[in-house]
Structure 1
Amino acid sequence: MLFEGLDLVSALATLAACLVSVTLLLAVSQQLWQLRWAATRDKSCKLPIPKGSMGFPLIGETGHWLLQVFSKIFSHEALESYLPKIQLVIQDTLRAWSSHPEAINVYQEAQKLTFRMAIRVLLGFSIPEEDLGHLFEVYQQFVDNVFSLPVDLPFSGYRRGIQARQILQKGLEKAIREKLQCTQGKDYSDALDLLIESSKEHGKEMTMQELKDGTLELIFAAYATTASASTSLIMQLLKHPTVLEKLRDELRAHGILHSGGCPCEGTLRLDMLSGLRYLDCVIKEVMRLFTPISGGYRTVLQTFELDGFQIPKGWSVMYSIRDTHDTAPVFKDVNVFDPDRFSQARSEDKDGRFHYLPFGGGVRTCLGKHLAKLFLKVLAVELASTSRFELATRTFPRITLVPVLHPVDGLSVKFFGLDSNQNKILPETEAMLSATV
């Protein structure tokens, strides 16, 4: 009995220690998110930083005009203008992957792809490929040290992150100045154009420092989560070949693929993509099972009660996206990858307002969600249309959730280009077909 009593005391002590550790972890993680926003900005920047929120840095508690700007940046008209450029960037990337003699690390390459998309399409910078590669390496160093403890010592992660930010901002300032000087030949308004034009319309002309900070934040917002979702999409298409073939059937039915398998000529359009119902189901299911981030923070505006517990006004609370998806009663067999759960016949996500929230919910839902979904849809179409890909390892890798969801080894995959008969294209032929954006 004595030993049983000691075991109980030990178990209670362990439980108490775990609860304290979790509490401290949540408190520290919130502070790190706030430090992350501060780390992306220069101290001379006058744009406010959001309080108690993981929301987009430029939105937060800023003026109404910024909300209008971002409604334009992610409007239907803006997405329509981005679409051909996104398709070209993805096509060019898949050609490079297919011509590579060895397997590629999908997660690392997806990061490069989303960075390139942000630079080329969202910001409209014409940076040479060699300089773009160097800028990505510096940016990767910046990202790797964003969540470092704010201890400014030589060789610390914080110091490396600050140094990387300084190099980044020099490169971005050069690109911004070149962009401001060269206004001819532009066939669409990118996000940075809209930000600059709208600020002038509201009498809030932005300084160079604010433009650099805003540019860096736009890149950050489009980078990690989209790379995570892109990697998860490729992994699920590898795991579920029947889903890939059903997707190809839909593309054939809509005239995007010929019956023999080769892609039809012409660029994609928004109305064309919106008509691909099964593609939409695939993307939704990827985002349900493999949401890039775990959740978000909110500040309590009014004291409320939840399950008998009172949550005071002013507290910071965290909501879990993954736990919501895992426990929502509307989803059947939650661990099964089943795109058809979102079909018109089943519509499992229609039975509740907050059962499905991969992009958050409420007034602070992700402003760039439509751009993210558009990118994933184009990637899926191009993968189904122009590539054959195989897992290069014996088993699929384990998934880690920090800092965003991704495979621990990055997912090693061998890509092959396809000709009209769904056969491999030789690297020499592929090089001849390559195109630049």
Structure 2
Amino acid sequence: MLIFFFYNKSKLIYNFDQKMTNIESQKSVSLPPGETGLPFIGETLSFLFDPDFAKKKKSKYGQIYKTNIFGNDTVTMIGAEANQFLFRNENKYVVSTWPKSTRVLLGKLSLAVKDGNFHTSRRKLLAQAFQPRALNSYIPKMTEITQQYVEKWLQTKELTWYPELRKYTFDVACSLLISIDNASQTKLASDFETWCQGLFTLPINLPWTNFGKALKCRAKLLQEIETIIINRQQQPKHQNDALGILLEAKDEEGNSLTIEELKDQILLLLFAGHETLTSSLSSFVLLMAQHPNILEKVRTEQENLNITEDITSEKLKEMTYLEEVLKEVLRFIPPVGGGFRKVIEEFEFQGYRIPKDWTVQYQIAQTHKESDIFPDYQTFDPERFSPENMADKQKNFGYIPFGGGLRECLGKEFARLEMKIFASVLVHNCHWQLLPDQDLEMITIPSPRPRDGLKVKITEV
């Protein structure tokens, strides 16, 4: 009895000492350096409208710094090691999160805002729409739409390309995901554009704000998508598109997706198959216009392949130099600048304390400028991704145009497929050059695009 008392007393003292030691340890480990900006809005406006925000912060504070954006205390962590830590500690120290405006507009049932087992099971269902067999079935329609747009652009001769590319990617997404042709000419497109403009804004729900307008358009979009889903459910056989696959999909327990869930998932897929792809394609045509020697190598490869009939998956695999070019496009101007995580358990990284309930942002654009992985990173150089160099394989999570870990972009192969088909058809048929007196500075939110919309003159090969 006496031994038991002294044992527990010493254990109590030990635990108390341990807690005091932990408190003292936390005090000695400081928060990352940085500023939090103005009350309520923090540094949100600079984050949204200054394309060099991250570059300036990194230059002043280094690889890890604190700020306040979208109403949240936020730590930005830059580099392959930071990415690896965050991706491999998903659901342990961090979970995926988005700014409030994005969460609300994507919807509470959207895969993007879910985590844990629900996210895992739903991701498996949605992944069925992007399996190799499904992707191969998309090639003919993707090629057909691309050829139609190229013919139209050649007739136009001079155009502002970015808005046209938005129409193109929206038509491809709607055709292959929900079997709606020429969707860019419908009310669906204008509502979708307004909805996109509210995704990364301050969540102020007033009639004249981008967020308020986007909320109204979200309701209209969901109503239209619901009508499409109900009509398809009444058909005896589903069409060969992503919606058809998802209508047939069942989870491990044999349950199908509900209409409410399908609506949010389809809206997410339309966004993923449109916004970032438009950015990537505009970056490709811009960079090719600025690097005619590289474009000529791409053109030579296309001519040597002698594609006289429809593009096939076998022909696409032979476009090895084009593959290197597209990888460098995604490195040089990644369509997504970074991603967000919420801290669910306080942790320490590289000597700094990251508190619970803070937001962490990992940086894709700045990671792609790490000189130890990408020497002379400011130079556009597809050779980095040649079989001899393989820059994308040198360090885990050093090349992450589609994110990484449990949250890696579900539609990345769809995006790669569309980029390759677009580039092949365009290069095979067109010459293009930038028109003078335009502002090519990149607006970065929600995805990079030239300020003046990319004005070009386009002619037939």
Tell me the TM-score normalised to structure 1 length: 0.79
For residues 341-420 of structure 1, the aligned pairs below 5 Å read: 341-394=384-437, 397-416=440-459, 418=460
Structure 1 letter corresponding to 2:220? I
Give the match for residue 141 of structure 1: 194
SS of residue in 2 equivalent to 1:373: helix
Partner Cα distance (1:295, 1:356) in 2? 12
Where in structure 2 are the equivalents of 1:269-348 lying within 5 Å? 269-300=312-343, 304-312=347-355, 315-348=358-391
**Contact 2:338–2:363 (CA under 8 A) maintained in structure 1:** yes
Q: Percent identity?
A: 31
Q: Which of 98, 114, 120 is residue 169 of structure 2 equivalent to?
A: 114
- 2:57 alignment partner in structure 1: none
Q: State the Cα distance separating 1:185 from its structure 2 match.
A: 9.0
Q: Report the Cα distance in structure 1 between the residues aligned to 2:68 and 2:439, rounded to whole angstroms.
A: 34
Please state whether the residue corresponding to 1:413 is helix, strand or coil: strand
Instruction: Tell me the secondary structure at the aligned position of residue 369 of structure 2.
Output: helix
* C-alpha deviation, 1:162, in angstroms: 1.8
Give, in whole Å, the separation in 1 of the partners of 2:343 and 2:416: 30
Once the two structures are TM-superposed, the CA of residue 119 in structure 1 deviates from its matched residue by 0.4
Q: For residue 88 of structure 1, what is the amino acid of its counterpart?
A: E
Match of 1:241 among 266, 287, 292: 292
Once structures 1 and 2 are overlaid, which stretch shifts more, 229-238 or 74-83? 74-83
Q: Which residue is 2:248 aligned to?
A: 197
Residue 348 of structure 1: how far off its partner (Å):
2.5
Q: Which deviations, in whole Å up to 9, do the C-alpha atoms of 1:31-58 show, x marking residues without a partner?
A: 86233122233xxx6x3x57xxxxx346
Task: Name which of 224, 230, 251 aligns with 1:177.
Answer: 230
Change (3 A) 1:27 1:131: closer
Q: Which residue of 2 aligns with 1:37?
A: 103
Alignment of 1:256-271 (within 5 A): 256=307, 264-265=308-309, 267-271=310-314
Q: Greater Rg, structure 1 or structure 2?
A: 2
Contact 2:147 2:425 in 1 (8 A): yes
Q: Report how far residue 60 of structure 1 moved.
A: 6.6
| CA deviation map 1:373-417 (0-9, x unaligned) | 11111111011111222212246611121221110111011223x
User: What is the CA distance between 1:314 and its match in structure 2?
Assistant: 5.7
401-410 vs 196-205, which deviates more?
A: 196-205
Distance (whole Å) between structure 2 residues aligned to residue 87 and residue 111 of structure 1 = 16
Shifted more, 392-401 versus 136-145: the winner is 392-401
Which region of structure 1 is more displaced relative to structure 2, 234-243 or 211-220?
Answer: 211-220
Does structure 1 conserve the Cα–Cα contact (< 8 Å) formed by 2:299 and 2:427? yes
Task: Tell me the CA shift for residue 229 of structure 1.
Answer: 0.5
CA 1:231–1:122: 2 relative to 1, 3 Å: same
Native 8 Å contact 1:58 1:66 kept in 2: no
Using the TM superposition, give the Cα deviation of residue 24 of structure 1 relative to its aligned residue in structure 2, in angstroms.
2.0
1:222 partnered with 2:283? no
Task: Answer whether contact 1:124 1:190 (CA < 8 A) is retained.
Answer: yes
Runs (5+) with no aligned partner, structure 1 = 1-14, 51-55, 257-263, 423-437
- Farther-moved stretch of structure 1 (373-382 vs 92-101): 92-101
Which of residues 119, 130, 133 is equivalent to 1:74?
130
Shift of 1:291: 0.3
What is the CA distance between 1:304 and its match in structure 2?
A: 4.3
1:106, 1:231 within 8 Å by CA — same for their partners in 2?
yes
- Residue by residue, what CA displacement relative to the aligned partner does 1:261-290 show, whole Å, maximum 9, x if unpaired? xxx12x222232122210110000000000
Note closer, same or farther for the CA distance 1:288–1:73 as it changes in structure 2 (3 Å cut).
same
Q: Residue 428 of structure 2 aligns to a residue in which SS?
A: helix
CA RMSD of aligned residues (A): 2.8
Instruction: Work out the CA distance in 2 between the residues paired with 1:18 and 1:166.
Output: 34
Q: 5+ residue gaps in structure 2?
A: 1-33, 44-65, 75-96
Aligned residues: 381
State TM-score, norm by structure 2.
Answer: 0.75
Change (3 A) 1:386 1:58: farther
Amino acid at match of 1:324: T
The answer to whether the 8 Å contact 1:59/1:66 transfers is no
Cα distance 1:118–1:173, how it changes in 2: closer, same or farther (>3 A)?
A: same
Matched, 1:167 2:233: no
Query: For 1:345, what is the secondary structure of its paired residue?
Result: coil
Secondary structure, aligned partner of 1:326: coil
2: CA distance, partners of 1:367 / 1:280: 19
Question: Could you tell me how far apart the structure 1 residues matched to 2:203 and 2:170 are?
Answer: 26
- The one-letter amino acid of 1:113's match is Y
Residue matched to 1:91: 147
